[in-house]
Copies of this chain bind each other. A is one copy, B any other.
Amino acid sequence: MFADKGFDGASLRAIARAAGVDPALVHHYFGNKEGVFVAAMRFPVNPAELLPKVMSAEPGRVGEQFAREFIAIWDDPDKRAPIVAMLRTAMTNERAAALMREFVTSALLDRVAAARDVPLLRLQAAVGQLVGVMIVRHVIRVEPLASASPEELVELLAPTLQRYIDGS
């Protein structure tokens, strides 16, 4: 369903219909479309659980919390592997890129942008900072970044993320 219609094109109702079950059942087990996606793609993180953790930080520490949660996910090999696999596929396959783009936009970026009143471009620069550092750390594995402690990275990156979020 996601592969055929993309993330935005697949509705919870259509997913239920395709599976031959009641939409209420899908809702009960997966919560929402993101939940179905996360399960179907074996995506290791459910934005519905991650976002409240980041957004509950006090305004001046959102950058720090954002860095901390993101680094913890990538530093866990079981969570990192499916993200890297998805990213790799997106680098060769336009359909996979579109799916990733729609999921990241609908499930993450649009919500944070609205909740914190952050321009999308700034939020994407912040996500780019985190994705890029994680590629340098875990995929190309350049030292000393590859062996830096999570705390060192939080300290290094938090002011950058905070600046993007504050718009300064």
Contacts and interface: CB of A to CB of B under 8 A. Distances in A.
A130 B136 CA distance: 11
Given A121-B148, A121-B156, A136 B127 contact: yes
A131 to B, nearest CB: 4
Contacts of A122: 156
Measured as residues with beta carbon below 8 angstroms from the partner, the interface class of chain A is 35 or more
Nearest to A145: B124
A87 interface: yes
How many copies of the shown chain assemble into the complex?
Answer: 2
Nearest to A105: B142
Contacts of A156: 121-122, 125
Contacts of A125: 129, 133, 145, 156-157, 160
Nearest to A91: B88
Interface stretch (A7-15, A16-24, A44-52, A96-104): A96-104
Contacts of A38: none
Interface in A62-115: 84, 87-88, 90-92, 97, 100-101, 104-105, 109
Most buried by B among A105, A129, A134, A143: A129
